[in-house]
Structure 1
Amino acid sequence: MGKCRVLIVGGTGYIGKRIVKASLDQGHPTYVIQRREIGLDIDKLQTLLEFKKQGARLVQASFDDHQSLVDAVKMVDVVICTMSGVHFRSHNILLQLKLVEAIKEAGNVKRFLPSEFGMDPGRMENAMEPGRVTFDEKMEVRKAIEEANIPYTYVVANCFAGYFVGNLSQMDSLIPPTEKVRFYGDGNVKGVFMDEYDIATYAIKTIDDPRTLNKTLYVRPPGNILSQRELVEIWEKLTGKKLEKIYVSAQEFLAPIKSLDFASQVGVGHFYHIFYEGCLTNFEVKEEASKLYPEVDYKRMDEYLKLYV
């Protein structure tokens, strides 16, 4: 039996680039949407041309042209959407709903992975505003998928290491602090931190696996369930230098939220749920990626942090 054909929408994005690579690496005929709206974005175009050089097929389509989306979907067995940025935008939700309509009309898709790859929106109904909108919108997409009877897998990948590990989970930088580190509460609440390519590898593994059909896959390998304190300890061991610890209470952390711009308010809310409430680890999971796919040698965070030394 041949490998299933995969269409990736949003392939030039942060997680999208890794999904394209993982699909190619696992031997799937890989198709990537080249949106007509790309305009003069030379970086995106060159990324797409690089995919082509690696063996991907570029497919011209536009969200303003429903038929072009339907035609693109009909070429493949699996559709993966990776259009989310750091913070999900309402505009992208509308585009995903258009994609769901195209998949429904095409009628041939064996699996759809919508743009998730973060926290589980199904567990965030009590999230604070305004960050809650990002979860509500993802649930809207899930509802449309399920109402259309489209076979799906939702991939809950937790924290991208690039945004949460290299900076020891500090909000104001992407690189490690040199003198002081802010701890959320006592720093002992457990999170889940993943190398972005490992997330992509696990996502592609699910696409023809009956065990993940119409299920949520949690990317939560035991070796990467760590507290912020443990991350800092790994860093201190790697560098041989102790950082000054500043402990920030929940009240102090949330105090300035009203004065921040929208994106920062969303970020603060998400950090609060992860590092004060433990929303990534305070429940049991069934379909866990490292148990389903023990052959994947996922990157531990001590290895990841060596990049920054």
Structure 2
Amino acid sequence: MSICFSSHVFNLHSAKSQSFLTRFSSQFINQIQVSSNSPCALPSSPLNLSRLCKSSRERLNPITASTTPSVETVSPTSFRNKNPKDINVLVVGSTGYIGKFVVKELVDRGFNVIAIAREKSGIRGKNSKEETLNQLKGANVCFSDVTHLDTLEKSLENLGVPIDVVVSCLASRSGGVKDSWKIDYEATKNSLVAGKHSGASHFVLLSAICVQKPLLEFQRAKLKFEADLVRAAAEDNRFTYSIVRPTAFFKSLGGQVELVRDGKPFVMFGDGKLCACKPISEADLASFIADCVLSEDKINQVLPIGGPGKALTPLEQGEILFRLLGKEPKFLKVPIGIMDFAIGVLDFLVKVFPSMEDAAEFGKIGRYYAAESMLVLDPKTGEYSSEQTPSYGKDTLEKFFERVLREGMAGQELGEQTIF
């Protein structure tokens, strides 16, 4: 059964930042390190427990989330008139790259945060329950399973408190076909259904800007859930949503920093101008997501969001890095056709060996982020627009590069599938 704890000791994922080190990269490009603008650093991983939620006094105090009003008497929009300490916010995907920062931000703002987590969380389930509790300090941690609706609903029922808002940072870690539909759609849908049954009247979804041009399975899965969320609000005018579509995460652009520092060239596809982005830090994105909990101007909106400053191409990112290092720029330009050839081979092999379906999908993911900009796609022109991509926050990619050069990429693990 899943176990709930009230913790008062914390930390936080991403976008998949959301980025992908595709098997394609290791099999076909070997040592080539490619600049990726993936906003989908895959902030959280599948939850696979099957336990019901009950209070535990073995280590920590019982859950302390607000217990009034009851689910039966709660007014669907009344939470916006309460103080944060009286608002119960359920966070799924809480141990992912962005999810951890979202939990921390919500806790810092004084909300009662209920964080759903697996007993073995993190990349490849490397974190124990103790590590998860320490990571999510200040939140009420409930170990449960978002991939099974009945288990999740029972977990929330056993909490004994109503839910006001659900914040979903769920995302497939691998981007594989089955995993994408299991997490980006089914598990996220479970959190919507279970949340509404527990009284939630607002849902904040961490999506991705890349769903504007859906060529990949995880994008299609995210879009299907976005449509379900919009439909839920249309069918119940007391229920609202905020869909957040971030651009690239800092960590998805940091994979080459240490390599370039060690004398390797900065690798990019084509002329280095194929995939521009307005990268946003995990802390700034978490702050924007937290804004969506109470901000009425973000109700029933699709919200693309990037970091401060102008859009940056891979070429410009490399130039920033070389300037910080005081080195003469040295670039390795890889023809995009290499990836097209490899994907063609994989697509052929899938027809013979269906088990290679995910390998082919990983190749397509790598190709997508090597060629597509992470900016708002202008529906009139069909072009990506830096001007139409909103900026938020204060953290810049240059400052991030400076920090990585000083401290390394610790805490910025790229997950199971990355480009670098």
Is the counterpart of residue 301 in structure 1 residue 393 in structure 2?
A: no
Indicate whether 1:29 and 2:112 are aligned.
Answer: yes
Q: Deviations over 1:188-228 (max 9, x none)?
A: 24222122222111111121111111112222234152111
Alignment of 1:109-128 (within 5 A): 109-116=200-207, 118-121=208-211, 123-125=212-214, 127=215
On the 8 A contact 1:13/1:85 being kept in 2, the answer is no
Residues 80-132 of structure 1: CA deviation (Å, up to 9, x unaligned): 122214444222122222222223433x323212342x3341x114x2xxxx1
SS in 1 for 2:278: strand
TM-score by length of 2: 0.61
Match of 1:137 among 207, 212, 221: 221
Q: CA deviation at 1:10?
A: 1.9
Aligned to 2:42: none
Match of 1:293 in 2: none
CA 1:197–1:61 in structure 2 vs 1: closer, same or farther (change >3 Å)?
same
Inter-CA distance 268–14: structure 2 relative to 1 (3 Å threshold)? same
What's 1:2 paired with?
83
Tell me the equivalent position of 2:364: 269
> What is the match of residue 242 of structure 2?
153
Supply the distance in 2 between the matched residues of 1:184 and 1:42 (Cα, whole angstroms).
33
Aligned length: 288
2:371 is aligned with 1:288: no
Structure 1: segments with no counterpart, 5+ residues:
169-173, 291-295
1:133-282 superposed matches below 5 A: 133-149=217-233, 150-167=239-256, 176=260, 178-189=263-274, 190-223=276-309, 225-259=311-345, 265-281=360-376, 282=384
Report matched runs for 1:87-102 at 5 Å. Answer: 87-88=174-175, 89=179, 90-92=181-183, 93-102=185-194
Bigger Cα Rg: 2
Cα distance in structure 2, aligned partners of 1:218 and 1:13: 20
Q: Distance in 2 between matches of 1:176 and 1:76?
A: 47
Return the letter of the residue paired with 1:214.
N
1:84 is matched with which residue?
171
Determine if contact 1:36/1:62 at 8 Å carries over to the other structure: no
Which range moved further: 218-227 or 197-206?
218-227
| 8 A Cα contact 1:19 1:200, kept in partner | yes
What TM-score results when the alignment is normalised by the length of structure 1?
A: 0.80
Given that 2:101 and 2:283 are in contact with CA atoms closer than 8 Å, whether structure 1 keeps it comes out as: yes
1:134 partner amino acid:
F
Task: Write the deviation string for residues 203-260 of structure 1: whole angstroms up to 9, x where unpaired.
Answer: 1112111111111222223415211111101110111123432222332342212446
Match runs of 1:10-89 below 5 Å: 10-35=93-118, 43-51=127-135, 54-63=137-146, 64=148, 65-71=151-157, 75-88=162-175, 89=179
Structure 1 residues 239 and 307: CA distance shift in structure 2, 3 A: same
Q: Partners in 2 of 1:35 and 1:205 — Cα distance?
A: 26
The 1:287–1:217 alpha-carbon spacing in structure 2 relative to 1, beyond 3 Å, is: farther
Given that 2:144 and 2:155 are in contact with CA atoms closer than 8 Å, whether structure 1 keeps it comes out as: yes
- Percent of pairs with identical residues: 18
